[in-house]
Amino acid sequence: MAGGDTRTCVEVKDVTVGYEDRIVLDRISWTVPAGTSAAIIGPNGGGKSTLLRTLVGRLRPMTGTVRIFGRPPQEARHLLAYLPQFEEIDWQFPIRAIDVVMQGLLARTPWWRPPGKGALDQAMAALERVRLASEAQRPVGALSGGQRQRVLLARALLQDAQLILLDEPATGLDAPAQHELLDVVDDLKRDGRTVIATTHDLNCLTDHFDTVLCLRGKVICQGPPEEALKPEQLLAVFGRHVPLVTAEGRVTIFEHHR
Amino acid sequence: MSTIVEFFAEPFQFSFMTRAFVGVSLIAVLAGVVGAFVMLKGLAFIGDAVAHASFGGLVAAMLLGVPLHLGALLFALLTAAGLTVLGRKTGLRADASLAILFTGAFALGVLGLAARPNFAGDLTALLVGSVLAIRPADIYWILAAAAITGIVLAAAFRHLVYISFDPQGAEAAGLPVAGLQWLLLSLVALTVVVSLQAVGVVLVVALMITPAATASLFVRRLERLMTVAVLCGLSATWIGLYASYYLSTPPGATVVTVATAQFTAGLAMRRLLSGRAKLPPGRFSGTL
């Protein structure tokens, strides 16, 4: 695609998107450099998931353009992996963790080609990287919430996705599980992969995400967490006061938002 | 000793019984494999709907004088396509799309039937099936369906698993989710249509769902679930057909009754075992 800057992973320009009867996001612009991580925060109905659905090409913008590595989302699918909200996946489906990871190959090999000899080793290596090699043979339904998310990240690794989108990955995870997940996210970033996550949980942001996008129908603020997460801006995003303290460059928020 | 052999061999002196055993056994294999997906994805009602919709195609085929299977298959595939399209394009709830399509197709069948009332006897047979009237041609149809299903699964089994487990993730990664969903529904349609003659539109759903549900009580891997479902379906077929022969009961209904009894026994066995052995949490664990 002409003018596609490979250093820019996501470029959203003047995008309006919504459903038949209502506009959810009004003329938003946003850029995510390749190899960085970005968190999308905002109240329910603020447009976080809608933006992710637009990035994966499920929703088409009414105005403006979306580019993933310089291409329209529909042409960039092999480059991206999307982890939907927890309840969108049938976790009781009778497959093992390793089978889920192997699905990553389907996106980048023709349908008639069976997985090659090396495929299983690659899948095991991906599980190893998310620290789940010992769980390979277990049914996914028997894994904890955090382990399930990491299995999906291993699948994204096998797919060799360059952009990984997570919709509310922290929901329902306790603090240790969240940290394990975010450690994996950091690890993916070290490969040069770009990670974008929506979240309600503001505390993890300063340590793990390079930039924040605050959405409430439009862009309220964006930038590095320590700049974007100012009290007055959080008030504008969530519509009420959010207690927070800033110390040594870290922002800590004293409340969860639902 | 010889009496036991005679007991098992006696039904086979009748060629219609031999065809019944062969035909229903093949259906049990086909329905067990396809039924695993149907049961896991909660498509049971869709199978039923496709079966009813194909009734419209049967009547149309009769009136036009073309092979019945072709008419039924065409209606069933169109229903499957309609379901895929309606669900994705209109946002209509799946059960509503389903009800509109299959009652519409069924009504067409009834209208067609009213135009030619003299066909009524044959069509009743197709609704409830007539195991003992399986013709060699029916067996060829079932074999063809099994071959097609085998080829499709050999090529796309992992894709179908992916879209069943995580449709949104699969779509984002570039898999043709709508096409694969239609493919899965088409396999259901194919299974239903070729089973019509033998077990009828009403009972074919039981042969898809019940053995798979029984298997799901005990295994937690799809490949094994299919294997166990096929074994359950086959044993229900054989026990049912022998019972039907010696007790003079309707064969199709007898087979389904045996399958239902297997499921009930499975539930009871699970409850007994769950106290001692570590059993996987199954789909029915909530009811135990």
The tens digit of pLDDT for each residue in B84-129 reads 777 677 667 777 877 888 888 888 888 887 777 666 566 666 666 7
> Left (φ > 0), alpha (ψ -120 to 50) or beta: where does A2 sit?
beta
Q: Do A84 and B281 touch (CB under 8 A)?
A: no
Boundaries of domain holding B209: 2-287
C-alpha A253/C-alpha B245 separation (Å) is 75
Of residues B172 and B204, the one with the higher pLDDT is: B172
- Do residues B209 and B39 touch, judged by C-beta distance below 8 A? yes
Chain A residues 199-238 with CB within 8 Å of chain B: none
Q: Is B162 on the interface with A (CB under 8 A)?
A: yes
Tell me: pLDDT of B286 over 50. Answer: no
pLDDT in tens, A234-256: 788 887 666 565 655 555 555 54
> How far B280 CA sits from the closest chain A CA (Å)?
8
Structural domains in chain B (count): 1
C-alpha B43/C-alpha B40 separation (Å) is 8
Boundaries of domain holding A57: 8-90+159-253
**Does residue A144 belong to any structural domain of this protein?**
no
**Does residue A108 belong to any structural domain of this protein?**
no
Structural domains in chain A (count): 1
pLDDT in tens, A146-176: 999 999 999 999 999 999 999 998 888 888 8
Residues forming beta bridges with residue A214, ordered by sequence position: A41, A221
- Nearest-by-Cβ selection for A159 from B171, B173, B219: B173
Which residue is it, tokens 């309609």? B82
ipTM score over 0.90, yes or no? no
**Does residue A181 belong to any structural domain of this protein?**
yes
C-alpha B244/C-alpha B246 separation (Å) is 6
Residues of chain A in contact with residue B216, where contact means CB-CB under 8 angstroms, are 94
Q: Is A123 on the interface with B (CB under 8 A)?
A: no
**Does residue A153 belong to any structural domain of this protein?**
no
- Which of A51, A59, A68, A82 is most worth mutating to test chain B (most B CB atoms within 10 A of its CB)? A82
CATH code, B209? 1.10.3470.10
CATH code, A214? 3.40.50.300
Residues B128-153, mean pLDDT to the nearest whole number: 90
- Which of B90, B165, B180, B184 is most worth mutating to test chain A (most A CB atoms within 10 A of its CB)? B165
Eight-state DSSP code of residue A114: P
- Which of B166, B171, B180, B222 is most worth mutating to test chain A (most A CB atoms within 10 A of its CB)? B166
Chain B residues 46-105 with CB within 8 Å of chain A: none
